[in-house]
Amino acid sequence: MAIKNPFIAKGVKRFSKRTLAKLTRTHVAKKNKVVTAKTVNKVESVKPTEVKNKKGQTVLVKKGVKGTDRFYPSDIAQIRTAKKAHPKPIAHLRKSITPGTVVILLAGKYAGKRVVFLKQLENSGLLLVSGPYKVNGVPLKRVDQRFVVATTTKVDISKVKVDARINDEYFVEERKKIAKVPEATFFDKKNKTVKTKKHSEVRVADQKAVDAALLEALKSQKALTLYLKTKFYLKKGQYPHEMKF
């Protein structure tokens, strides 16, 4: 007799799958499955044949079984297939980010700072931004567009010319070998000196050139200069998903 499993509420049945399986004893039926014998392909056996060896003696030799190899390699070498090098696709720039857009940095040392977007770098697809440095202390740097909030505020950068050599390779720093300090003088405070990071003269000159052009664009707009100076932060009761930047 089949056990009924009616609905007791909308979408809810009286018995669960586990309880119903116990009542119907389907788990016992699965264990006692009738296993049918599989048909095995019979391999034709070859009778040994009489062969004369080098000494002239007759020897029985079994040449092998039909459909099988006589010798098998002990080590099977793996055949490596050639891999196709697929070029990495450049990240598509968001429609809200255009040259001159003021963006808010969300991560890193300058989180909360408002900066001006200059261009997208070709190889990496990162954004090239600048404070300018004289306004809010943010130098020329690369930023991922995932860690940026685009605002509706724009700066006219039609007269700002960014040199073509300012690309991804421009920001790669040369690694210098650190000189080993002798064990005797390692903990000596007198020998320890605080090293300050010095930028190259080329980078300083490029920063000044970009800053001069940006400050010229911001010269007549004092409110926009103050807007770039002030740091962005959320106050009590403010939610970013409800705000319009």
Instruction: Read off the pLDDT of residues 88-103 as tens digits, 9 standing for 90 and up.
Output: 777 889 999 999 999 9
Q: Look at 61-65, 120-124, 142-146, 165-169 and tell me which has the smallest mean pLDDT.
A: 61-65
CA angle 173, 200, 130 (to 5 degrees): 80
pTM: 0.58
Split at pLDDT 50, 70, 90, the class of 58 is confident
Instruction: Indicate the domain borders of the chain.
Output: 90-173+221-232
Q: How far is CA 242 from CA 29, 97, 238, in A?
A: 60, 20, 8
CATH architecture of 90-173+221-232: Roll (2.30)
Split at pLDDT 50, 70, 90, the class of 83 is confident
Helix (H, G, I), strand (E, B) or coil at 111: coil
CB 148 within 8 A of CB 127: yes
**Which helix H or strand E contains 116, and what residues bound it?**
strand 114-120
